[in-house]
Amino acid sequence: MNSFKIFGLVGITVLGFIFSQSNNQKVGHINSNLLLGIMPEYKSAKSSLQGYADGFEDQLQDMQDDAQLLWKEFEKEGISDEEKKELSNKINLIQSEMEKFSSSSQEKINNKEKELVESVLEKANRAISKVASENGYSYIIDYSTGALLHAEESTNIMPLVKAELGI
């Protein structure tokens, strides 16, 4: 039981030291998802992306309609086995094309999203860094993702660690 008291006392002492040393550092937070959601550029990019995706969805729907027409013809009475085989092959071909098209279009949509949203993200990040610097924030944390969005260069210990390692 005494070891718990000692660890607790050491923990409290360490936390007190950390907080006393960080009094001159301001830490801010932001919800970048919320920020993006209210940016007009982001809304425009999302709208443009939706229109782009709708075009693929329409093409996929046309392919599905074609397959359904062939299926209805396949189910008709009085068609020969050879006609059924031909229709079955056409249906299978359309289904295969639909799978390829769906995969390809999703990749294109993802690339388009990256293209459209990247500049908006850069603008938001520049604004966050500018506000942080102008208002004396040492760190800005995005609490929607847990990412560190801004850190003062002076707090980067990479040069010290490299020196310690001799690199």
Question: Helices (DSSP H) in 30-80: which residue ranges?
Answer: 32-38, 40-75
70 located within any domain: yes
**Region 126-147: what's the mean pLDDT?**
91
In a domain, 20, yes or no: no
Please tell me the pTM assigned to this model: 0.65
Domain that holds residue 131: 34-165
Q: Is 26 contained in some domain? A: no
Indicate the number of domains in the chain: 1
Is residue 73 one of the residues assigned to a domain? Answer: yes
Is 9 a member of any domain? Answer: no
pLDDT band at 79 (very low <50, low <70, confident <90, very high): confident
- Give the Cα separation of 157 and 160 in Å (integer): 5
> Which of the four pLDDT bands, split at 50, 70 and 90, describes residue 34?
very high
Mean of pLDDT values over 63-69:
94
Instruction: Provide mean pLDDT across the span 2-25.
Output: 50
pLDDT score for 85? 92
Residues in Cβ contact with 21 at an 8 Å cutoff, skipping those fewer than 6 apart: none
Write out the H or E segment, with its range, that includes residue 151. strand 147-151
Instruction: Tell whether 14 is covered by a domain.
Output: no
Band the pLDDT of 153: cuts 50, 70, 90.
Answer: confident
Burial class (CB in 10 A: 0-12, 13-18, 19+), 66: middle
115, part of any domain: yes
> Higher-confidence residue: 11 or 66?
66
Under the banding of pLDDT at 50, 70 and 90, the label for residue 128 is: very high
Question: Does residue 13 surpass a pLDDT of 50?
Answer: no
Residues 6+ apart with CB under 8 A from 28: 132, 135, 137, 139, 140, 141
Answer yes or no: is 45 within a domain. Answer: yes
Using the predicted structure, report yes or no on whether residue 20 has a pLDDT greater than 60.
Answer: no
Q: What is the pLDDT of residue 12?
A: 47
